[in-house]
Amino acid sequence: MPSPRRLIAGLATATVLALALAGCSANASTPGSGSSSETGKPVTGGSLVYLEHQAITGLYPPGAGFYPNGGIVNNIADRLVYQDPKTLEFEPWIATKWESNADATEYTFTIRDGVTFSDGTPLDAAVVAKNFDLYGLGDAARGLTVSEAINNYQSSEVVDKNTVKFHFSAPSPGFLQATSTINSGLLSSKTLDLPFEKFGPGNAANIIGSGPFTVDNEKIGTGLDLVARKDYKWAPKSWSNQGRPYLDKIQITVTPEASVRVGALLSGQAGLIRDVEAQDEKQVTDAGFQVYAAQTNGVNNGLSLRFRNEKLSDIRVRQALIAGIDREELVKTIYTKNYPLATSVLSKTALGYVDTKDAFAYDPKKAATLLDEAGWKLGSNGIREKDGQPLTLVVNEAAPQPRSFDALTLVSQQLKKIGVDLQILKADAGTYAKAIQDANQVQIYHSMVGRADLDVIKSQFYSKNRNTLLNRDNADQSIGDPKLEELLQAVASTADPKARIEASQTVQKYLADQAYVIPFFEEPQVFATANFVHGFSSESVGRPSFDAVWVDKQ
């Protein structure tokens, strides 16, 4: 006869499994390697295992905004100028000097002598001109897009072997910074002739730059190696390493599961990991490992309230949403101290930042009053209604952003208390791509953008860039708030540096006054390193720089 033992046996096995699992959490052990202080003498040689979250999708520099792409481009391609990630000041890199005319429609760069691409060809003014002709104008026939960072580009002019001049159809004050971003990584002439397909996965080793590393041993979807260029000697002056990279090799391995990345680091299988989730930081530091949070110096992680939607067209409703969200509770519950509470639409470390935190204060009573005044009355189910319509709003889950889903879940709990029903859109890429372009489907847009230039605010909100507010309606191309357009244009086309900063501050204040945005926090890129790894740093939007990284001989 079948006995109860069969079921009990099953139960017992399940319990054992569960206990084994509980055991895992109980003792996060310390690593075997001896730790050393950051001040030791750098060692040349050795290799590092770096765990990435996702595989690369292509190494065309204007498309390097996708994090894994940018992480490679930053290390294989040099830029004309270098932007210090801390001070955000510029210094010479491939260009030894630069100047622009008063209205920022003409830039002249002097190119350093003796720089070569990794295929041996020289990096001269002609190839620099070819780079920016492509990044500034794009080539639709080859499927190659324009760089988002470059505005009003017209043409290039090779003055002599070491001098190149760029012409713009309108003032382009952000161009100097644009030349420092990963989107402007300098590639060899041959590489620039490639069609889009050849920038894709499987061909990474053929993307030739002049950077400290080259790509080798690519395995599509699972990773690649960065190999040091032994003859690299044109690092920016402020880099601690002026010669060849200390490491011989960096093995980049794609490891999609967050728990596996952390576990691999703690058990000594990797030296560096990206995308440490907030809840795992403690586990890392408790085990004596370092967490490295790189600020991204741009538009903060937050919500754009799409005011052209009928429900959000009333400023009182938007103000109520702001007052109904307890941002401090959000940051405290979901994130860590590496995610500072936002005090403006821009990060404190971004250029042109101005404090507007008073506009984002938490005040649920005020929120309720505002909604009452706006005619949204509490319905029987706790959700407010007007003309029989419930106050239901949809926000997108921002998959690339850290813990977007958890954050929005908490926000929807908070808004429920003031009678607002916030739904989170989770959909396949096709449906998602359509829905976020339509304010009737997605009224609130969750996003951020990192770029250490005043232009960043224009990138986020301008109708012809990311257009996160959907100020330009996709259906009829009409503009809802021409004043916002004008203010954003001013940031991108004011030549005078001081006036440009003021223009950015005007936009920040305007966005806060109009209750167009709810910034959450200043988004970092969070890495963790093992104790034997030293000298890790990142560029101005958090892409890793491996040139000065070294490891203890073990």
Q: Taking CB under 8 A as the criterion, which residues in 62-121 touch other proteins?
A: 62-63, 65-66
- Asked if 20 touches other proteins (CB under 8 A), the answer is yes
- φ/ψ of 528, rounded to 5, equals -135, 140
Tokens of 260: 């596996």
Window contacting other proteins (CB under 8 A); options: 100-108, 409-417, 486-494, 529-537 = 409-417
Among 98, 362, 405, 510, binds other proteins (CB under 8 A): 405
Among 40, 45, 202, 482, binds other proteins (CB under 8 A): 202
CA dihedral 414, 419, 421, 422 (to 10 degrees): -30
Window contacting other proteins (CB under 8 A); options: 156-164, 306-314, 353-361, 418-426 = 418-426
- Cα separation, 173 vs 500, whole angstroms: 8
Q: Quick one: 126 or 260, whose CB is closer to other proteins?
A: 260
Min. distance of Cβ 232 from other proteins in angstroms? Answer: 25
Among 33, 189, 217, 279, binds other proteins (CB under 8 A): 279
For 130-175, give the secondary structure using H, E and C. Answer: HHHHHHHHCEHHHCECCCCCCCCEEEEEEEECCEEEEEECCCCCCH
- Cα separation, 474 vs 173, whole angstroms: 28
Among 152, 269, 290, 401, binds other proteins (CB under 8 A): 269
Q: Which residues have C-beta within 8 Å of that of residue 79, sequence separation ≥ 6? A: 93, 94, 179, 180, 181, 182, 184, 185, 186
Min. distance of Cβ 220 from other proteins in angstroms? Answer: 5
- Cα separation, 168 vs 247, whole angstroms: 41
Tokens of 242: 């002026």
- Asked if 259 touches other proteins (CB under 8 A), the answer is yes
* Binders in 23-62 for other proteins, by CB under 8 A: 23-25, 27-29, 49, 51, 57-58, 62
| CA dihedral sign of residues 70, 152, 124, 98 | negative
Min. distance of Cβ 38 from other proteins in angstroms? Answer: 24
For residue 289, give the amino acid letter. F
Min. distance of Cβ 501 from other proteins in angstroms? Answer: 22
CA 199 to chain centre: 21
Min. distance of Cβ 198 from other proteins in angstroms? Answer: 7
- Asked if 155 touches other proteins (CB under 8 A), the answer is no
**Helical ranges in 65-109 per DSSP H:** 67-76
Compute how many residues bind other proteins; rule: CB under 8 A: 112
Min. distance of Cβ 212 from other proteins in angstroms? Answer: 22
Min. distance of Cβ 406 from other proteins in angstroms? Answer: 5
- Asked if 140 touches other proteins (CB under 8 A), the answer is yes
Q: Quick one: 46 or 268, whose CB is closer to other proteins?
A: 268
β-sheet bridge partners, residue 252: 50, 224
* DSSP string for 456-477: HHHHHH-TTTT-TT--B-TTT-
| SS3 state at 453 | coil
- Cα separation, 408 vs 115, whole angstroms: 48
Closest CA to 449 of 323, 304, 322: 304
Min. distance of Cβ 332 from other proteins in angstroms? Answer: 8
Q: Quick one: 38 or 476, whose CB is closer to other proteins?
A: 476
* Binders in 475-514 for other proteins, by CB under 8 A: 477
- Asked if 159 touches other proteins (CB under 8 A), the answer is no
